[in-house]
Amino acid sequence: MNKRIFSILSLLVLASMILAACGGQPTTAAPAATEAPTEAPVMTEAPTEAPMATEAPTATEAPVISAVPAECQDNPDQKVCAVFAPGDTIKIGYAGPMTGDYSAFGIDISQGGQIAIDDAEPLDGWNFEQLVEDTQGSGEGGAAVANLYSSNPQVVAIAGHTFSGSTAAAIPIYNAARIPMLSPSATRADLTQGDQDVFNRIPFTDDTQGKNAADYLYNNLGVTKLAIMHDGDAYGKGLAEKVQEVFVQDGGEAVAFQAITPGETDYTAPLTDIAAQGPEAIFYGGYYAEAAVIASQLGVAGMPDAFIFSDDGTYGTKFIELAGASAEGTYATAAVPPSSAAKDKFVAEYMAKYGVEPGTLSTFTWQAYDVVSALIYVIRQVAIKGGDGNLYIPREAMVQGVRHLSGFQALTGEIACNDVGECNTAGPTFFVVQDGAWVEAPK
């Protein structure tokens, strides 16, 4: 029994020794645990490492591969770039007189431009469209249409305007909106001047037309006494002033310089006053409606042997229709292009679509085709296909592309614009009414 108790006591002693050996570890390790807070700053250094996390923009720089072209990313209200979704049409605006006394110009020019639209191949799936708005030929109408087109974010260029007064009113509006213009017919000399770079044109200027007309009257037709009339509009008056200046320089006598009020049907009073001066011819600066009235009343006013010499605003069948037999012997200027396969193709297309020959309604049919074709050419040069499937047309690139257009082969000749936007393709040709039709006058 005692032996057994002894054995048990021995085991207890041995067990206590083992526990003592194991239990000593926590007591010595405890200080290590209390030192842990002094090690904590190692963890607080993480914020100083945080900039590595804020450098994650390395990952956010991926938008450099953007669906939107770089030049079009800051594009409020599409003022910087015009944007076209699939299915949209690329719009070119035409502005001219579609109603009223001078509607023949607007109808003819818009029709010539439409042939160019019809001929244009789509641009990577996007079709072209010509918008047509009526200015009625006035400055007020020109400004109203310019505001309308400038508020349309998908209008990228203007094929116009048609008349000089309408054009002058529109230029500042398009300049602010950065929409380039290429006119087929606005010829007033000062239109390309001033603090703007959006207006360009392909017809000869009034200065050129006026000088050539005065020279032809004096040198070719032998006129020495000339009466000059005009409609008071920017185009007609400016042209009349140039004719007067050059005709006098050539050695002729300008016996009268008379303004009339457009839209009237009786000009016998001013014509009678002019008759007393004995002119051999009357130069009229203006459009066909008033020119027809003047031609019809020459005899009544006492000038049966005098003839009318006018401008590209009078040329066309509307003058002959209105003046009737009195149109015979009238001269006018025009810019009919030289013969070519391209011209023949256009003539056939125009006649098939509209039933009349180009140049019937106005002298600017061919120029209308040329300006729309040239604008489409520039659009193709500057358009950008976005990664988002949209088409982008940067407005400033359009302005500069039209201003620096060169080498473009058109029906009327090569279009090459200078620093102020004169892209004139040809000078004037003179025509005379013979047997009820315009024929080219002797050179």
Tell me what pLDDT residue 426 has: 77
Q: Are residues 358 and 326 in the same domain?
A: no
Buried b or exposed e, range 105-123, using 16+ CB within 10 angstroms: bbbbbbbbbbbbbeebeeb
One-letter amino acid at 421 equals: G
Rounded distance between C-alpha atoms, residue 176 and residue 198, angstroms: 9
Residue 87 lies in a domain: yes
Q: Are residues 243 and 303 in the same domain?
A: yes
Tell me what pLDDT residue 45 has: 36
Tell me what pLDDT residue 443 has: 86
Q: Are residues 78 and 200 in the same domain?
A: yes
Tell me what pLDDT residue 425 has: 75
Q: Are residues 198 and 346 in the same domain?
A: yes
Tell me what pLDDT residue 2 has: 45
Q: Based on the structure, what is the number of domains in the chain?
A: 2
Residue 434 lies in a domain: no
Q: Are residues 353 and 249 in the same domain?
A: no
Q: Are residues 278 and 374 in the same domain?
A: no
Q: Are residues 392 and 370 in the same domain?
A: yes
State the residue range of the domain holding 382: 74-204+338-427
**Domain limit, last residue, from 334, 365, 389:** 334
Tell me what pLDDT residue 61 has: 39
**Domain limit, last residue, from 334, 355, 373:** 334
Bridge-based pairing of strands 331-334 and 429-434 is antiparallel
Residue 238 lies in a domain: yes
Q: Are residues 198 and 212 in the same domain?
A: no
Rounded distance between C-alpha atoms, residue 368 and residue 174, angstroms: 19
Residue 129 lies in a domain: yes
Q: What are the contacts of 264-267 at 24+ separation with CB within 8 A?
A: 264/290, 264/293, 265/293, 266/293, 266/297, 267/293, 267/294, 267/297
Tell me what pLDDT residue 66 has: 64
Residue 18 lies in a domain: no
**Domain limit, last residue, from 313, 334, 355:** 334
Give phi and psi for 254, each to the nearest 5.
Answer: -90, 105
pLDDT along the chain (443 residues), means of 10: 42 40 37 38 37 39 63 95 98 98 96 98 98 96 98 98 96 98 94 96 94 97 98 93 98 98 96 98 97 98 97 94 97 90 97 95 96 98 96 98 96 94 88 95 91
Tell me what pLDDT residue 249 has: 98
Q: Are residues 247 and 269 in the same domain?
A: yes
Residue 47 lies in a domain: no
Rounded distance between C-alpha atoms, residue 31 and residue 21, angstroms: 18
Q: Are residues 319 and 399 in the same domain?
A: no
Rounded distance between C-alpha atoms, residue 108 and residue 342, angstroms: 19
Q: Are residues 211 and 200 in the same domain?
A: no
Rounded distance between C-alpha atoms, residue 81 and residue 347, angstroms: 36
Residue 361 lies in a domain: yes
Q: Are residues 180 and 231 in the same domain?
A: no
The residue written with tokens 């009020």 in the block is 261
- Answer whether 81's CB lies under 8 Å from 69's CB: yes
Taking the complete model, does pTM exceed 0.85, yes or no? no
Tell me what pLDDT residue 56 has: 39
The CATH code of the domain that includes 253 is: 3.40.50.2300
Residue 56 lies in a domain: no
